[in-house]
Amino acid sequence: MDESDEALVRRVAGGDEQALEQLYARHAAVLLRYAVQLTADRGQAEEALQDTFVGVWQGAAARFAGGSTVRTWLFGICRRQSGKRTRSMPPPSLPLDAAASIPSNVATPDEIALARADVAAVGGALARLPAGHREVLHLTFVAELPMAEIATLLGIPLGTVKSRLFMARAALARALPVDQLTAKEAGR
């Protein structure tokens, strides 16, 4: 049976390198995608990811208070490390080709609609969203964090997370061209 993230953090706090390696193996891929979304630069994102785990090793694990999940805590560290690299730049949207590589077992209606839409239109619509809306979309659909954890991570009320998500999805829906076949099917 796999050890919990919390148990691994306790082991890291005690100087266990293998526990750090296990945390890295579990969370590095999704943290890297998040850092790329925030920095728009793979090299900077990799540095932010490295600094995230260096920080965990150098003492952050000993200060983990358990106020959130370990995953959300790691996202917070990664967000701060990414922010150090992009203070003057707004967070860019996630590249669509990176989003296409995210595995999914069952297609949701949102995924079906996005798959039918023109890729350039989706990219353009995402790029026009405010940075806060793009970030909430990423944390919800790519990182798959619960809304309460997103609120904690971003330091905003839960209602603001819900509002941003609603507004971002509505803006995307308005910006995407309607496939004529889909429009005919909807009219039946």
Question: What does the pLDDT look like over 59-73, one tens digit per residue?
Answer: 887 888 888 889 999
Centroid of chain to Cα 116: 23
9, with CB counted inside 10 A (0-12, 13-18, 19+), is buried
The reported pTM is 0.64
Of 3.40.50.2300, 3.40.50.720, 2.40.50.140, 1.10.10.10, the CATH number of 96-183 is: 1.10.10.10
Token output for 50: 């490295």
Minimum mean pLDDT among 11-15, 61-65, 121-125, 158-162: which range? Answer: 121-125
Q: Measured between alpha carbons, how far is 141 from 153 in angstroms, rounded to an integer?
A: 15
Euclidean distance between CA atoms 39 and 68, whole angstroms:
24
Rounded distance between C-alpha atoms, residue 53 and residue 78, angstroms: 9
**Residues 118-150: pLDDT tens digits?**
566 777 778 888 888 889 988 998 888 899 999
- 5-85: CATH number: 1.10.1740.10
Average pLDDT over residues 33-39: 89
Whole-number pLDDT of residue 188: 47
Mean pLDDT of 97-105: 56
pLDDT of the residue at 183: 46
Query: Domain spans of the chain?
Result: 5-85, 96-183
pLDDT, mean of residues 40-44 = 89
pLDDT of 177: 64
Q: Is the pLDDT of residue 21 over 90?
A: yes
